[in-house]
Structure 1
Amino acid sequence: MAANRNTVQKIMQKYNLQCRIKPKRKWRSQGESIIIAPDLLKRDFTASAPNKKWVTDITYIQYGSTTKYLSTIMDLFNNEIVAYKLYDHQQTPLVIDTLMEALEHRSSPDGVIIHSDQGSVYTSYAYQDFVKKNDLISSMSRRGNCWDNAVIESFHSNLKSEEFQYVKFNSLGNHEVTERIRDYLNYYNEERIQEKLGYLTPMKYGVKAA
């Protein structure tokens, strides 16, 4: 029996249900330079205006014929997904390209805190140099503490539980996975209401606050 997305969402929230997510694998090339930034958010996932605090992360998408890696950036003002990239690797260009898209979408704002975990792509010199050159401020979770970036982690969990709940790993074509990710992100920004936003969608909340 088919069920409305919002109905399923409310039931899952009521009973604190989430899908089981495979733990991330961390890797770093031997001898690679790393830059660790302090945790500036300190689990304060609120923002008084757009482009004050962004959070970002990468998650595995294992429902296509090959594993894909989804990088997203969320604005904590209205929890809008500002930018995303879906690549077949999790190397530094993935996160730089995602950040570049966010900057283009938001007309290159200055002084935004961009918060991530301490994954190798975020601590890399290339990524940190890109952050600095674009007048952004890097912030990072404490090592091994997923709660320091809980909002974006929760978003990725919801994406998988809501969009791929009954899909077996590696059972779809990669093109279908790409379409499902795109459709879900549009739904999330434009249709999925959130209690934090006064039961508005991220887009409607952003327009109302403008």
Structure 2
Amino acid sequence: MSEARKCPWGAWMREHSNEFQIAVMCRVLQVDKASYYHWIKQGCKLQQVDEKLNELIEIIFMQGRENYGTRRIKDKLVQRYGFIVSRRRIGRIMRELGLVAKTKKRYRINTTNSNHNLPVAPNILNRDFYATYPDEKYVGDITYIPTNEGWLYLATVIDLYSRRIVGWSMDDTMKVSLVNDALNMALIARKPQKGLIWHTDRGSQYASYTHKDLLQQHGIVQSMSRKGNCWDCALNEVRKCPWGAVAESFFHTLKTELIYHEIFETKAQANQAIFEYIEVYYNRQRMHSANGNLSPVEFEEKMMLQVETAA
């Protein structure tokens, strides 16, 4: 919106101040002279609010790494700054500022080798992808990252309570050590009680005896998705599969917000970028709809504060 539309008399008078005397314009327009100079000194309040709003929208958009649309920006404006603004107005401001969210690309990937004779675990989780407290239920999966040096494989461990990435590892191959290292990271950092449910697909890494030994050592209950069941497998599209809505949703987000927009010359470069994305951005800054648009760390801290207050 132009300055003239926001403050018509003040803007017009200032624009023509070299052509007409201020006193004459005030008399003709029936404007108090003191009010005009106060407006010049303080600036148009509405314009100041709009400028602040534009600035906040741009800040939120950039902090969201150019991924946030109007819905998340609106929620952040309310939660963080107390601005109540319609999504339509936010969309208009974004267009005026040239802020366009990154394009979301579809992807489909299969890193699961379930054609093995290793014993598989029953589906203990049974489609219940919500937890009532931290370190009650973890889910794990594997994906791959393209680099100019070849594939880099990423294994993650997600706490279903807050959707936080509590463990992860990267390697050149999809050996058992890849998933064991990711789970060990979570165990060292979180120290979960015995009885933790660990849900994955039927991949050979998760079905291996080495992995099962690690689970038994820490009193972890293993759970695996049913073969070919779209409701609890890790390989179907995010919108069709509640399991995918947790495990693959992170990989989908990682790829559409980072991987698809970068060309990694080396595996080390990809490793550093993914480390920063997980530990700095995703866990601590990125808004998550399952957490009321709080980041996983913010959600855990808020819930912990409520528990302490109640006690």
TM-score tier by shorter-chain length is: 0.7 to 0.9
Contact 2:135/2:192 (<8 A) preserved: no
Match of 2:253 in 1: 158
Q: Structure 1, residues 139-171: CA drift from partner, whole Å, max 9, x if none?
A: 111113333631111101110110122235xx5
Rounded to whole Å, the distance in 2 between the matches of 1:114 and 1:5 is 33
- Does the 8 A contact of 2:138 with 2:159 survive in 1? yes
TM-score by length of 2: 0.60
Does 1:208 find its partner at 2:302? yes
2:140 matched to 1:56? yes
Displacement after TM superposition at 1:61 (Å): 0.8
Residues 80 and 202, structure 1, Cα contact 8 Å, conserved in 2: yes
**Separation (CA, whole Å) in 2 of partners of 1:136 and 1:53:** 10
Change (3 A) 1:177 1:109: same
The answer for the alignment partner of 2:69 in structure 1 is 10
- Whether the 8 Å CA contact 1:19–1:158 is kept in 2: the answer is no
Q: In 2, distance between residues paired with 1:55 and 1:11?
A: 30
Which residue is 2:206 aligned to? Answer: 122
Question: TM-score if structure 1 supplies the norm length?
Answer: 0.87
Q: RMSD across aligned C-alpha pairs, in angstroms?
A: 2.6
Cα–Cα, structure 1 residues 140 and 18, in superposed 2: closer, same or farther, change >3 Å?
A: farther
Q: Deviations for 1:105-162, whole angstroms, at most 9, x for unmatched residues?
A: 0124311101000001011111112111210000111113333631111101110110
Identify the match of residue 196 of structure 1 among 264, 279, 290: 290
Alignment of 1:104-119 (within 5 A): 104-119=188-203
Moved more, 81-90 or 34-43: 34-43
The 1:12–1:38 alpha-carbon spacing in structure 2 relative to 1, beyond 3 Å, is farther
Tell me the matched-pair count.
204
1:20 to 89, 106, 125: 106
Letter aligned with residue 158 of structure 1: T
Q: Distance in 1 between matches of 2:202 and 2:133?
A: 26
User: Structure 1's 18 and 111: CA in aligned 2 closer, same or farther, altered over 3 A?
Assistant: farther
Partners of 1:99 and 1:194 in 2: CA distance: 23
- What amino acid maps onto 1:180 in structure 2? A
Contact 1:63–1:167, Cα closer than 8 Å, also in 2:
no
How has the CA–CA distance of structure 1 residues 26 and 165 changed in structure 2, closer, same or farther, with 3 Å as cutoff?
A: closer
Structure 2 Cα separation of the partners of residues 78 and 139 of structure 1: 19
Instruction: Report what 2:275 is aligned to.
Output: 182
Q: Which digits, 9 at most, give the CA deviation of each residue in 1:29-57, with x for residues without a partner? A: 9xx65121111222221100001100000
Q: Distance in 2 between matches of 1:180 and 1:115?
A: 27
- Conservation of the 8 A alpha-carbon contact between 2:151 and 2:172: yes
Tell whether 2:227 aligns with 1:132.
no
Q: Is the 8 A contact 1:116 1:149 kept in 2?
A: no
Q: Report the CA distance between 1:10 and its aligned residue.
A: 3.3
Distance 1:108 1:22 in 2: 32
Larger Rg, first or second structure (1 or 2): 2
Unaligned residue ranges in structure 1 (runs of 5+): none
Give unmatched runs, 5+ long, in structure 2. Answer: 1-60, 73-102, 235-240, 305-311
Contact 2:111 2:142 in 1 (8 A): no
Greater per-residue helix proportion: 2
Is the Cα contact below 8 Å between 1:61 and 1:68 reproduced in 2?
Answer: yes
Q: Secondary structure at the match of 1:39?
A: coil
Determine the C-alpha separation between the residues in 1 that align with 2:70 and 2:157: 26
What is the Cα deviation at residue 85 of structure 1? Answer: 0.3
| Partner Cα distance (1:103, 1:85) in 2 | 13
